[in-house]
Amino acid sequence: MTFSTKIAFLGIGLMGDPMVRCLLRAGYSVTIWNRTHSKAEVLRAAGAQPAISVAEAVYGADVVISMLEAGPIVAQVLQEALPALRAGALWIDMSSTKQSEAQQFHATLQAAGHAFIDAPVSGGVGGAQAGSLAIMAGADTSDYARIETILSAMGRPTLVGPPSSGQVAKLCNQLIVGATLTIVAEALLLAQAAGADPAAVRTAIRGGFAESKILEAHGLRMLERNFVAGGQVKSQIKDMHNILAAAETARVTLPVTQLVTQRYETIAKTYPTADHAAALLALEALNPGQRLGTGPDKLS
């Protein structure tokens, strides 16, 4: 699709705001909507057109992009938008939802004569700001070809299978993220408790087989006790529950994922909006008297 393509973007949160800015920088015309209108209004200066209602936002749009908190909210917004969608509109849901929810969105839109792509992302707020998100798209090949350029304005898209496959890929991603965050916290806390310098241990093992973006970025966050949100604990828990639901449907048992989910659930009420690096806080609560570093916790 060309820059003349009209895009409606629904959901201007931590991720939606920088994603819209990427689309605007790429030259696209973007109408935006958010439940809290003030968050959409902020983007007017960047060239976006804020709309008061979902129907107003999607009216005349060739492509609708949703970036919302969870599947039930996507379903609600989709129902609000349906009567106003132009014929043959293509809806890209970049939220993280259950695979079964993505299948239902596809069925609903297909029955109304529209196309659907699920394209959840990984890379956090930093990736959204840099336009370097990993974008996992579940789509028919012809539909994907129509919007690959649009997705490329926000990151690195990959077609991973038919509709709803994007959510499967995202769940696999979040399974690895959640488990790795938890194990990096364990490694750093063990290093300190056993008498080594945890920062030096992190430096020593980087570049070896243990290297990862989690060790690089979130290992540093843990050492600095910086839990200001990028990806939030509540979002990680939602993803873990969705992973377990998908595993049950696929009839596979994921014992490590079950344990990681339980660890995050211990801080669900205490630190719901902290960064998911707060896996360290869950671990420290399990080990009274053990604390990584000496600095204060940064939570906001």
> Would you name the residues annotated as active-site residues?
170
Among 13, 154, 41, 4, which residue's Cα sits nearest to residue 92?
A: 154
User: Which element (helix H / strand E) includes 279?
Assistant: helix 279-286
The values of phi and psi at residue 238, to 5°, are -55, -45
Q: Is 138 helix (H, G, I), strand (E, B) or coil?
A: strand
Dist CA 277 CA 258 (whole Å): 18
The string of DSSP codes covering 33-99 is E-SSHHHHHGGGGGT-EE-SSHHHHHTT-SEEEE--SSHHHHHHHHHHHGGGPPTT-EEEE-S---H
